[in-house]
Amino acid sequence: MLAFILRRLAGTVLVLLTVSVFVFGFVRLLPGDPARLVAGPDATAEDVAAVRADLGLEGPVWRQYVRYIGQTLRGDLGRSAKTRQPVIAEIGARFMPTLWLTLVAMGWSTLFGLAVGVLSGVKRGRWEDQTAMVLAVSGVSFPSFWLGLLLIDLFSVRLGWLPTGGDDDWRSFVLPSITLGAGVAAVLARFTRSAFVEVAGEDYVRTARAKGVPERGVIWKHALRNALIPVVTMIGLEFGFLLGGSIVVETVFSWPGLGRLLVDSVSFRDYPVIQAEILLFSTEFVLINLVVDVLYAVVNPEIRLR
């Protein structure tokens, strides 16, 4: 297992290096002069030059890249062009709100999605299954900005129960996590159902039944455990997506997370922040994939990690 993890980590470094080339190239390939833009309308030539140095846009490209990698490895991601604060601090401040929201949303949607999926799988073709799948399709199809605004209108404006946004206390979590988790729950429900149905037809499930294992044991121990493998992959992917900060949900609920930071930095063309966020998202994604692979073995010891 350890050897596997180490090998995968080495691969991860390679992936991240590739990402860093893209991230580095992106500002340099943009049309126009980012330094001029960041410096603002009143800036003098010297001010623009100072900004250019700040953005690391001076000297030959290869040297810029070496400098960029060196700084990144030291945790120096530059300063935000907009707030003039260190990028690492900007991202640090936004990371926890996004992480918490992601955990809450993933928590309820995983439980709910799995439960509904298993229920549908067990009661395949019956009214429970059909209702659940109609819900799941709606969950996937609802655009989250629309669902979010609808929830705000109902629970904040009309009923006055919950705040419209912010991250002040537990009440602020309710609407954004429902909005964020709805799609995930729906995807997981459908995924679990189909995996479950597939597994339910396997020989070992039939064997278990033939041995006289009680139906509950068949479902939870034999069928579900095996059905979970693709579902775990899906959970990992969804978690990775959400951890990047949902742009739409964080904007609708003015959630001070990474998604909003990305929107703000794109609209302000805050290149150091955009670069750092892309790098962070890629790292998160790669690491989550690694964790998912390890989890396979936990869920099903049959799988050997090589």
Partner 1 sequence: MSQLFSKVVLGGALALLSAAPALAAKDLVIGVDSNMPHLDPANTNDTLSQSVERTMYQGLFGFDKDMKLIPALAEKVDSDETATEFTFHLRHDVTFHDGTPFNAEAVKVNLERVMNPENHLSRRSLVSMVSHVDVVDPYTVKFVLSQPFGAFVNNMAHPGTFMISPKALAQYGKDIATHPVGTGPFKFVSFATDTVKTTKYESYWKPGLPKVDSVTFKSVPENGSRFAMLQTGEAQFIAPLPAELVKAAQGIPTLNVVISPSIIARYVALNNMRKPFDDVRVREALNYAVDKNAFIKIVFSGYAEPLDAPIPPKLAFYSKQGEWPYDPAKAKALLAEAGYPDGFSAELWGATSTLAKRAMEFLQQQFAAVGVKITVSPLEAGVSTAKLWNVQKPEDATMQMDFTAWSSSTGDADWGLRPLLDSKSFPPNLFNIAYFHSAEADKAIEAGLGSADPAKRAVAYAEAQKIIWKDAPWVFLSVDQLIAGESKRLSGVYYMPDGGILTEEAALN
Residue ranges that bind partner 1, judged by CB under 8 A: 30-34, 36-37, 39-47, 50, 82-85, 93-94, 97, 108, 112, 135, 145, 148-149, 152-153, 155-157, 159-166, 170-171, 174, 178, 251-254, 256, 260, 263-264, 267-269
Q: How far is the CB of 115 from partner 1 (least distance, A)?
A: 10
Q: How far is the CB of 145 from partner 1 (least distance, A)?
A: 8
Cα-based angle 18, 257, 164 (whole degrees, multiple of 5): 150
- Count Cβ neighbours within 10 Å for each residue of 91-101 and write b for 16 or more, e otherwise: beebbebbeeb
Three-state DSSP state, 208: helix
Q: Which is nearer to partner 1, 195 or 273 (CB)?
A: 273
Tokens of 133: 């799948």
Q: Which is nearer to partner 1, 56 or 163 (CB)?
A: 163
Separation CA 281–CA 227 (nearest Å): 29
Q: 238 phi and psi, to 5 degrees?
A: -60, -40
Amino acid making up residue 11: G
Q: Which is nearer to partner 1, 93 or 287 (CB)?
A: 93
Separation CA 227–CA 191 (nearest Å): 9
Q: How far is the CB of 93 from partner 1 (least distance, A)?
A: 6
Separation CA 192–CA 173 (nearest Å): 26
Q: Which is nearer to partner 1, 244 or 259 (CB)?
A: 259
Q: Which is nearer to partner 1, 79 or 222 (CB)?
A: 79
Three-state DSSP state, 234: helix
Q: How far is the CB of 231 from partner 1 (least distance, A)?
A: 20
Q: How far is the CB of 263 from partner 1 (least distance, A)?
A: 7
Residue 265: its H or E element: helix 258-268
Separation CA 172–CA 174 (nearest Å): 6
Q: Which is nearer to partner 1, 155 or 296 (CB)?
A: 155
Note whether 271 and 27 are within 8 A (CB): yes
Q: How far is the CB of 63 from partner 1 (least distance, A)?
A: 23
Q: Which is nearer to partner 1, 15 or 133 (CB)?
A: 133
Note whether 91 and 284 are within 8 A (CB): no
Note whether 245 and 262 are within 8 A (CB): yes
Return the number of other C-beta atoms located less than 10 Å from residue 42's C-beta. 6
Cα-based angle 283, 254, 101 (whole degrees, multiple of 5): 50
Q: Which is nearer to partner 1, 196 or 253 (CB)?
A: 253
Those residues whose C-beta lies under 8 Å from the C-beta of residue 123, and which sit 6 or more positions away, are 129
Q: How far is the CB of 235 from partner 1 (least distance, A)?
A: 19
Q: How far is the CB of 196 from partner 1 (least distance, A)?
A: 20
